[in-house]
A and B are shown apart, each in its own frame.
Chain A
Amino acid sequence: MKSKIILFILLGIFSQNSFGNTTSFDKKYWLKLLHYTKGESLADGEKFFLSPEGKTNPDAELAATIAAFKNPDLKVGWFNYPAQCVFRERYEFLKSSGLLNGVPEMSCPVFDEWIQGLNPESISLIFSSSYPNNPSSLFGHTLLRINQKDKKNDLLDYAVAFSAIPEKIDLGLVFAFKGFFGGYKGLFEVTKYYTKVNEYNNGESRDLIEYNLNMTPAELSRTLNHLWELYQTTYFDYYFADENCSAVLADLLAVSYKDDDRVNEHGRWYYLPGEMVKHFMSLEGRVKSTNYRPSLKKQVGKMWEKLSSAEISQVKDIVEMDDIPANMTNAKVLDAVIAYLDFTHYRTKEKLGDREQKLLRRALIKRSTLPKAEITHETYDKNNMPEYSHNPQKFTFFTRAENHSIMSGFELKQGYHDLMSNDRGYDAFSQFDFLTGSFLYDYKNKKFDYDQLTLVNLVSLHEYRFYDPQLSWRAKVSSDRIYDLDCSLCHKVNANAYGGFSFKFTKNSVFNVMAGVFGEASSNLRKGFRAGPAAEISFYTQLGTSYKLGLVNEIRFDATRKIADDYYNQIGIRHSLFNDNKRDYRFESNIISRFGSFTKNTIVHQVTYGQFF
């Protein structure tokens, strides 16, 4: 009964304070501290709430929090510390709001030790670029770095990462399902920054771009106090789309910058790491400076560029012959041998073989007898920072001529980037399109229908290099039009996967040769399906800063038919013009030809205007 009266009185104070504006109680901030969105907290750890109703009732949580702060014997959180020592930011906030008058302040040695260890001065937002070999990391990653006072070296700082922690390794469907619909817990982790540099820069060859944030001592203190209470008490259900590393870090930073509601704003149904940094760059005064750490692959590439062709031959000879000449005094060559072996180790994700291990050791010992390496500071093309990237969603209008039919339509793309788009802010010549649908009206036949539905269309092009001998590949699942049969506006379900090689003759162009298999299903096909081998040859180039050209020829053999030479071929030329990252204009012509049991040609010309949003 007594506790109910206290609760009633506290609720009264809260309501009066928050709505009557009689004191400085900032209810909006209280809701930020509880991670409320749409009337419910996103925090899912039950220890985060001191009231059983805390997840949905912030007033009850306030009353319970105040009561807990008054009770020094009450131990809370995963590690059973007094409430004042667990909920550090709630405590500071309620104290400054005048709601804890007369409550004795407790000492919190564990928290103090933690802060002392962090030795914090400021925070950086770190963006890790996408991991080109791994579709599940195509969107990049974000984390925070707590910069130490008087530091000489960023590596020794602490990193704060929020990531999904599967309790067991799930494969394929289970993983995709859980990722989208819930099933993984997301947790904060504080670890040395060098482990992250090793993991991303070296282990996965991803660039790290560091955005140093402007932060006052009060803002910094709020960040760390709140971070502490989060990982003393809670996890968040992890959703790939909108409750991921970026969304949760943005909510943490919304506590830091408590009066700036723009910090964790995002209007899309998903929230991408690149968008988070873009958003922060758009908030005036938030980012103080930026720094760039090139991936190991880029570092090795840079090293390679500085070698003469004679030196490259020497490197190859050493690696292939397993022999370092006794009179070798060229540090550049030895550095390249070492870099090659080191990169191979990371690239293949396997320990080096005995032979390579011994060669590396010999090269290192030899290298240690030569003069010191010059320290090189790689300059990054500041024009290509992720904040300059186009938005991921796109709306496109098009008009098309298919032989003698004129059609108009529109396309809605949920994401993300394609080969003909402006590459600024993205990896050049990369593609990951998903959830795209287009609809059209055929003026001649007076028919409205869908044109194409794409679930995923992924292209991963890797220049084939001596130090990085990787295959390129592409995969697509879609429902496309059938052009090579005698039916109008008819469709097929298509899946194809190709692998092959890419070569670069200049920095801005790539030539690709791929082969693979395809499968198609449609009621318009005699057997209902066809499948077989396929091949594609393509060339893409960017000329200047606003024009891209693409040439593609794809051929598919239908292995399900008795006539072995039944095949169809599509040859196309694509132009894309863009002046900024908001829109592009494209012109595309394709000839789809059918050979074998009968012959047919369909010529398609198309003009499009696309707007990113």
Chain B
Amino acid sequence: MKSIIALMALVATSSVFAADSSSGCGMGYEVAPKQSLVSSSTRSLVNSTFSSTVAMTLGTSGCAKHSIVKNDAKGIHFAEANMNVLALEMARGNGEFVAGFASVYGCSDASLFGSMVQSNYESVLPASNTSGVELYNNVKAQIKNNAALSASCSMI
């Protein structure tokens, strides 16, 4: 009987804690091995693969990782990490991520920025698979074309 209980215990434990790639904590926490700066197997879904432009890790060892995003790469990192949600919010013309995107160009008028990306949606996001770098550069070009907006953007 004892052996049956032990066996049941093991089966239950292994199924309850069956490995997955999500992040959590407490008893039964697992994170899959990190593949890049901010991505693991789940994370790679929500944060698309980062380009080498934003390989911003200041120091990496077998264990420690830390990064401070430099100004010039800030926008690209932001665009790459948030492509999904940016594609949605830009079509709606506003949202927290659009406001954050405005901030990385130093644009103080997030509303004006939101209107610009919404009305130029197909120019800044020409295809479903537009990359983060392209998005970043396209938006930057559009800001430059827009006198009223670019006056409010300190990084332009």
Contacts and interface: CB of A to CB of B under 8 A. Distances in A.
Contacts of B38: 191-192, 195
Contacts of A525: none
Nearest to B84: A342
A240 B17 CA distance: 11
Given A203-B45, A479-B5, A165 B61 contact: no
B11 A495 contact: yes
A142 B4 CA distance: 37
B66 A231 contact: yes
A493 B8 contact: yes
Nearest to A523: B1
A156 B30 contact: no
Nearest to B31: A163
B19 A194 contact: no
A455 B9 contact: yes
Interface in A339-367: 339, 342, 345-346, 349, 357-358, 360-361, 364-365, 367
Q: Give the most central of B30, B68, B115: most A CB within 10 Å.
A: B30
A361 B115 CA distance: 19
A519 to B, nearest CB: 9
Interface string A171-213: 1110110011000010111111011001110111000000000
A455 B7 CA distance: 12
Contact of A338 (B8, B46, B88, B128): B88
Interface in B13-45: 13-20, 22-34, 37-38, 42-43, 45
A48 B152 CA distance: 47
A136 B63 contact: no
A141 B103 contact: no
Interface string B79-113: 00110110110111111110110011000001000
B68 A114 contact: yes
Contacts of A190: 65-68
Most chain A CB within 10 A, of B15, B43, B67, is at: B15
Interface in B108-151: 110, 114-115, 118-119, 121-122, 125, 127-128
Given A113-B68, A192-B38, A357-B128, A169 B25 contact: no
Contacts, number: 281
A241 B17 CA distance: 13
* Interface bin, chain B: 35 or more
B130 to A, nearest CB: 10
A512 B85 CA distance: 34
A301 interface: no
A137 B24 contact: yes
A130 to B, nearest CB: 7
Interface residues of A, number: 100
A475 B8 CA distance: 12
Given A153-B99, A240-B27, A367-B92, A521 B66 contact: no
A244 B91 contact: no
B31 A165 contact: yes
A235 B61 CA distance: 12
A45 B63 contact: yes
B128 A141 contact: no
Interface in A152-170: 152-153, 155-156, 158, 163-170
B81 A198 contact: yes
A152 B109 CA distance: 11
Residue among B33, B68, B84, B118 with the most chain A CB within 10 A? Answer: B68
Contact of A368 (B9, B13, B65, B91): B91
Contact of A156 (B4, B16, B46, B103): B103
Interface string A202-234: 111000000000000000000000000001110
A368 B90 contact: yes
B128 A139 contact: no
A78 interface: yes
Nearest to B61: A78
B78 A194 contact: yes
A189 B78 CA distance: 18
Contacts of B59: 78-79
B33 A169 contact: yes
B25 to A, nearest CB: 4
Contacts of B8: 455, 477, 493, 495
Given A78-B64, A155-B96, A373-B94, A175 B46 contact: no
A346 B47 CA distance: 11
B19 A231 contact: no
A141 B88 contact: no
A456 B27 CA distance: 13
Contact of A360 (B9, B70, B122, B128): B128
A140 interface: yes
A172 B14 contact: yes
Contacts of B32: 166, 169
Nearest to A127: B25
A153 B19 contact: no
A436 interface: no
A429 B13 CA distance: 23
A152 B4 contact: no
A143 B11 CA distance: 31
Contact of B91 (A188, A358, A364, A521): A364
Interface of A: 45, 78-79, 110, 113-114, 117-118, 128, 130-131, 134-142, 152-153, 155-156, 158, 163-173, 175-176, 179-180, 185, 187-192, 194-195, 198-200, 202-204, 231-233, 235, 238, 240-241, 244-246, 270-273, 331, 335, 338-339, 342, 345-346, 349, 357-358, 360-361, 364-365, 367-368, 371-373, 375, 453, 455-456, 458, 475, 477, 479, 493, 495, 521, 523
21 contacts: A117-B69, A139-B29, A140-B24, A141-B23, A152-B110, A155-B96, A155-B97, A163-B23, A164-B31, A175-B30, A188-B64, A190-B65, A190-B67, A199-B47, A200-B23, A203-B46, A245-B25, A245-B26, A456-B12, A477-B9, A523-B1
7 tightest A-B contacts by CB?
A137-B24, A139-B26, A117-B68, A368-B121, A372-B93, A172-B14, A477-B12
Given A140-B24, A199-B42, 16 more contacts: A79-B61, A114-B58, A153-B100, A156-B100, A168-B33, A169-B32, A172-B17, A179-B29, A231-B65, A244-B27, A244-B29, A335-B92, A453-B5, A456-B13, A475-B15, A493-B5
